[in-house]
Structure 1
């Protein structure tokens, strides 16, 4: 003869195997037979110092600028969009689309002339790094579909930007780029 609780378990295991497993886990936890949960590892800080965070952000920006110069030269790799997320990615997509729709393309290179760390937020968790970037675009030209130079005559050859980086997984990504006063360069 089967006990009432044995009957319940037998019926549950044949009709509702997931419920039986849940019931067994609850019973083991209540009886103290379940192993103790592993302590979660202490999170490793993203960077040991602001200087380290700024150095990592500068490395990312230099690689991004080189990828942009490679794209201008007609190379498909590395893709500058691999360094972007959020507003910065949307702006790059819009910029590429605008040039294509207008029949324009770029020629030349831009050079990073300075990188100055501004601040770092949440150094020990998922940091946000802000930096002022100065780019020299003296050699960068806008050409039309006939190859004629249509670069605006009044453009600034040196551009200052405030760039924000965020940590995504284990790497920094550029999330925003906004104009900064050119005299800061």
Structure 2
């Protein structure tokens, strides 16, 4: 398999939040204080910013654990739907299927740290939470169908992300994952 294909797939895997783990780095400048808006008749779904951030981190760690199990070929790709919003789940199924169909597998831990709340608000029946996070993939290895290590030597081991979650306060699910386009805060 050409070396460029594993690099592209590794980038897809990283951008798609393929694995989980923890490390330390500096937090981004969060800008204005996180905001909360709710309907005047609805009770907030989170009692505090800290509670919203904690729920988002737990949801992302569940997403990373499920992704890791899929990429290690331990569970079916459809399992990602249980930790993703419906729309994002469809996107992740497509991405993960393409990764596995290429013959690649991933092992090891992806971790996040240096999390901070961007904002939280509620719509009629769901919470929406956005956070910054650093994702560390240095503990992961990509292998081809022959079991050979094809981890790109020039990959970014730590990447800054903006993550969005939707759902009930006790059932947030990842609904978006983007690389931070500003200065790298990791």
The two structures have a TM-score, normalised by structure 1, of 0.66
Q: How does 1:9-88 map to 2 (within 5 A)?
A: 43-76=42-75, 79-88=79-88
Cα deviation for residue 50 of structure 1 reads: 2.2
SS at match of 1:120: strand
Is the Cα–Cα contact under 8 Å of residues 50 and 123 in structure 1 kept in the other structure? Answer: no
SS in 2 for 1:132: strand
CA distance in structure 1 between the partners assigned to 2:74 and 2:102 by the alignment: 21
Is the contact between residue 164 and residue 174 of structure 1 (CA under 8 Å) also seen in structure 2? yes
Listed as ranges, the gaps of 5+ residues in structure 2 are: 1-40
Ranges in structure 1 where 5+ consecutive residues have no aligned partner: 1-41
For 1:120-135, list aligned pairs within 5 A. Answer: 120-122=120-122, 126-135=126-135
Alignment match, 1:16: none
Offset at 1:73?
4.2
* Higher helix proportion: 1
Q: Counterparts of 1:169 and 1:158 in 2: how far apart (Å)?
A: 29
* Structure 2 CA distance for partners of 1:113 and 1:49, relative to 1, 3 Å: closer
| Alpha-carbon shift at residue 143 of structure 1 (Å) | 0.9
The aligned residue for residue 141 of structure 2 is 141
2-structure distance, mates of 1:136, 1:49: 27
Shift of residue 113, structure 1, vs aligned partner:
2.5
Partner of 1:89: 89
Hey, what's the Cα distance between the residues in 2 that align with 1:83 and 1:159?
A: 21
Aligned counterpart, 1:159:
159
Q: CA RMSD in A?
A: 2.7
TM-score (norm. length: structure 2): 0.66
Equivalent residues, number: 144
